[in-house]
Structure 1
Amino acid sequence: MADEEKSRVGLVGLAVMGQNLALNVAEKGFKISVFNRSGDKTDNAVARAQKEGLGDKLVGYKDMKEFVNSLQKPRSVIILVKAGAPVDATIKGLSEHMEPGDIIIDGGNEWYENTERRIEEAHAKNLLYMGMGVSGGEEGARNGPSMMPGGDVEAYEAVKEVLTASTAQTDSGACVTFVGKGGAGNFVKMVHNGIEYGDMQLISEAYDVLKTVGGLTNAELATAFNEWNAAELDSFLIEISALILAKEDDQVADGGPLVDKILDKTGMKGTGKWTVQQAAELSVAIPTIASSLDARFISGVKDERVAAEACYKTAGLAAADAATPKLSAEEKKQLVDDVRAALYASKICSYAQGMNLIRAKSTEQEWGLDLGEMARIWKGGCIIRARFLDRIKKAYDKDANLPSLLVDGEFAAELVERNESWRRVVTAAINAGVATPSMSGSLAYFDSYRRGRLPANLVQAQRDFFGSHTYERTDMEGWHHTVWSDMNSADSITTDGYNA
């Protein structure tokens, strides 16, 4: 087969994401070869391509060597298989048939250090490698996701044409950029998912406050979310939440809102946990995201929560959802407006925390990441796409060294404008016994960040008391230690075992 007749790119892994991305690439005019360990999925992909009129652009293979040989040189293969060992096994199989200069691109959610290891292993075989975050779910994969490739820039340049055409398109361009060297692409995708955790939790808290404290029906909630999505809260997650709230159950005869019948236990795949762990390693505060992870953990102990509800009901304290809200129409409207403001303010904090984490890692690894460009490629295709990402990009374009979005002039003005509403919502939730961990955490983050002096002076004094850790003073240079009482008079003894 002449090289010009061969496929421009290959794809391994034909589950929902892989199959949809392959069809997307084919639809954009690029011939693509596909392969899957189980041949039935290859057959399904080929059948779908033929059904959609793309049969001449998508070719299936069931032999790895034939698959690799069907590609134009330098051969470029995208992997979309489960993270971890399956990726290593796929790389091993591909590399047996590849030649120097060929390219492997892992499009899964992978731990960034695994990507850095694989880059070194690929280089030892004279292959190029990229770890590429892909966001947008199955709909995004089919119609245009956001892509975050990192690793070998030469690999990116070789496939840039395909990626640019296949990603979501916005007024700022295609939602793809070369993120940076090493595992930068995977790390940015990981933080994207952490922000997504926070965003989803914040929206669920807004829903809970309006439903439990305000007594809104699902129809009223859907209307409110649709109105929000037409203004400053315009985002994919608000949009789909409105659709979810309006969806009737078509699986049973009596119907009713489907969302009310879904078990209140949230799953996860690990990227949110990685985000929180990395924030701890880098000493970056991300309370909105961290509390959203805790909320998922708490949701998982359903039986314990049901038992606790019964326990406290017996003790005379009813659960929040047992209350019957009695708000006037005017009070209900005020609550809706306040929740809208609180949600927007909290979202700013969540994105600010995520950006700070990306910047901290970039500094540590010397990646040189462009935060404005990260916001730009999230404007379309991805799960956290939102209207205000354009303004986040402008904030970092104006000041690449901006310490936090919270001190950008425009965002600061908006937080001040929403300040009173934010506090009313959190107060109303606390008084009603409705947990708002991420919204409350966002407000606490805001209050802490904008305060010049915190009570950390007492914490540091305590550390010096029991561990002789010393402290700095506001009126003198250097580090100091005090014998606070007879309890710690043996201050010359180092008590490393009591570090806190």
Structure 2
Amino acid sequence: MGKAEIGLIGLGVMGSNLALNIAENGHKIAVFNRTTARVGTFFESAGALQPRIVPCTTLAELAEAIRPPRPIIIMVPAGKPVDEQIAMLRDVLSPGDIVIDGGNANFHDTVRRFSELGNSGLTFIGMGVSGGEEGARHGPSIMVGATPEAYARVEPILTAISAKFEGEPCVALLGPDGAGHFVKTIHNGIEYADMQMIAEIYGVMRDGLGMSPDEMAGVFAEWNKGRLNSYLIEIAATVLAAQDRQTGRPIVEVIIDRAGQKGTGKWSAIEAQTLGVSATAIEAAVSARILSSLKDERLAAEQAYGSGGLPKFEGRRDVVLRDLELALFAGKIAAYAQGFAVMAAASKEYHWNLPLPTIAKIWRAGCIIRSQFLGTLAEAFEAGGELANLLMAPAFIEMMKETHPSLRRIVARTAEAGLPMPALSSALSYFDLYRQGRGTSNLIQAQRDFFGAHGFERNDGKGAFHGPWTQSG
């Protein structure tokens, strides 16, 4: 065989699986790892795919093994390690070669790297990859920020390795420079909200209804057959049914309630605030993970205040479960509405022209938030006209009318019972604020004018005005 079509640096879990995916789909790939022993181990484990893999022990050897213009995927931890790897690659690559960051990068870093490499003759691609270990190996959702010319060089490979939804590849060029990594960041923000809401529903089942993990697994499995059909609901059912090999207990009961995070959720919340977009469900989910890390403080607070005791909920279980299902769906709509509103704002701010229907489509398979729901979402954005917010799409208006009463009942009942519901209650407040034609910010404006002479608008005239408490009032 001839030279490799693409290279990859970083043979960790994601890098190794992505390399095997590329080889399995018929493309020869050259691989390198800083710890060179890992290269040999990886090659030996590749089995029948070895003829399509070129193991390299130096960066010069890696560059020589790839057909120009050389695309090389970097799969190393975000931040400084990526910059260090790029600096070393500049010594062995030639003008026109393509450096691809396939990690969870902050899009600001991607924009900077795109600009910096532009003066060197090299091209940069920011590539968001979603789907975890399984997705990397068998088909992820891929979000690309690049020039059309650079994308054309790697498009056949990315199309081949991506997830497919009814035959459509879940990969797209979404815009220049940081567009792909920004969309991946918001994907992860929505993922945070989705997971937190599922956890809150689990909390009601456990602490409000006294259900066992096995009983909950059955409910989630049933929900996965309907409107909530999604990867996260599917795996919720799977993990709730799983048993710990050491103790024989449900595995969920032996896991400490401290959730980790790698930064993308926080970035999505920060970018929403920076762009002036309300993303309360995402922000609440990030905050909930932070609070989850304070295990010792929470135990001390429980000692000080008490937990309230069980059971918390009365009435027919099937009625409560129906409300929980609809509440979760309503919260999901609000979270996606917020995420897509952030992307729409970023598209205007950075002149990316993000294709929102395409984003929904490439999330239908491969990625962590893949769900049946995304097809309806794509249709809403394709319907024509500029959609200010997903909540204003006709199909979603009908769905929210059906489901928000259940969300309201669940939030009210959990508040009375002392069961925390930060993301779902934030979603409800967002919905109520969004649909309130006459809000309460007039009082805020009056106060701002009182202490800072900031002025305000009047509903009976145009211009800036001051209240009677100022000299110019």
Q: TM-score range by the shorter chain?
A: over 0.9
How far apart are 1:312 and its partner, in Å?
1.2
- Aligned counterpart in structure 2 of residue 166 of structure 1, from 156, 161, 165: 161
Q: Which residue of 2 aligns with 1:141?
A: 136
1:404 equivalent to 2:397? Answer: no
Question: Which of the residues 16, 20, 38 maps onto 2:13?
Answer: 16
| Alpha-carbon distance, 1:324 to partner | 2.7
CA contact (8 A) 1:129 1:151 kept: yes
Secondary structure of 1:212's partner? helix
Shift in Å, 1:267: 0.8
TM-score (norm 2): 0.98
- Listed as ranges, the matches of 1:95-114 within 5 Å are 95-114=90-109
Letter paired with 2:25: K
CA shift at 1:38, angstroms?
Answer: 0.2
> Structure 1, residues 82-130: CA drift from partner, whole Å, max 9, x if none?
1111111111111211111111110011111211111122121111110
Question: Does the 8 Å CA contact 2:54/2:65 hold for their aligned counterparts?
Answer: no
Q: 1:352 deviation in Å?
A: 0.6
Q: Contact (CA 8 Å) 1:172, 1:376: kept in 2 or not?
A: no
- Displacement of 1:400: 5.0
Distance 1:342 1:134 in 2: 30
CA distance in 2, matches of 1:19, 1:30: 15
CA contact (8 A) 2:117 2:124 kept: yes
Q: CA deviation at 1:424?
A: 1.3
Q: Given that residues 210 and 310 in structure 2 are in contact (C-alpha distance below 8 angstroms), is that contact kept between their aligned partners in structure 1?
A: no
Shift of 1:153: 2.0
Q: In the alignment, what sits opposite 2:221? A: 226
- Whether 2:416 is the aligned partner of 1:419: answer no
> After the TM superposition, which residues 43-122 of structure 1 pair with which residues of structure 2 at under 5 Å, given as runs?
43-50=40-47, 53-122=48-117
- Matching residue of 1:302: 295
In the alignment, what sits opposite 1:452? 437
Q: Secondary structure at the match of 2:367?
A: coil
Q: Deviations over 1:152-211 (max 9, x none)?
A: 221111000000000000126100000101211111101111001000000000111121
Shift in Å, 1:43: 1.5
* Fraction of identical pairs, as percent: 44
Unaligned runs of 5+ residues in structure 2 are none
SS of residue matched to 1:249: coil
Deviation of 1:44 (Å):
2.1
- Answer yes or no: is 1:179 the counterpart of 2:174: yes
Tell me the TM-score normalised to structure 1 length: 0.93
Distance across 1 between alignment mates of 2:150 and 2:39: 26
**8 Å contact 1:371–1:400 — kept in the other structure?**
no
Q: What CA distance in whole angstroms lies between the structure 2 residues aligned with 1:384 and 1:391? A: 14
CA deviation after TM superposition for structure 1 residue 368, in Å:
0.5
> Contact 2:108–2:178 (CA<8 Å) still a contact in 1?
yes
Task: Name the residue aligned to 2:39.
Answer: 42
Per the TM alignment, residue 419 of structure 1 is displaced from its structure 2 partner at its CA by: 2.4
In the TM superposition, what whole-angstrom CA distance separates every residue of 1:335-390 from its partner, at most 9, and x where no partner exists? 11100000001000000100000010110011111111110111110001111101
Does residue 1:343 correspond to 2:328, yes or no? yes
SS class of match (2:73): strand
Q: Size of the alignment, in residue pairs?
A: 473
Aligned Cα root-mean-square deviation (Å): 1.3
Aligned match of 1:323: 310
Distance in 1, matches of 2:443 and 2:433, equals 16
Mapping for residues 443-482 of structure 1, pairs under 5 Å:
443-482=428-467
**What's the counterpart of residue 283 of structure 1?**
276
- 2:379 aligned with 1:394, yes or no? yes
Instruction: Give the SS at the match of 1:177.
Output: strand
Query: 1:39-90 deviations in whole A, cap 9, x for unaligned?
Result: 122122101212xx10101121111101110001111101100111111111
Q: CA deviation at 1:219?
A: 1.2
- SS of the residue 1:10 aligns to: strand
Secondary structure at the counterpart of residue 54 of structure 1: helix
**Would you say 1:256 and 2:249 are equivalent positions?**
yes
Amino acid at match of 1:361: A
Report the CA distance between 1:482 and its aligned residue: 1.4
Tell me if the contact between 1:221 and 1:242 (Cα under 8 Å) persists in the aligned partners: yes
Task: Specify the SS of the correspondent of 1:379.
Answer: coil
Q: Which amino acid in structure 2 is aligned with residue 34 of structure 1?
A: V
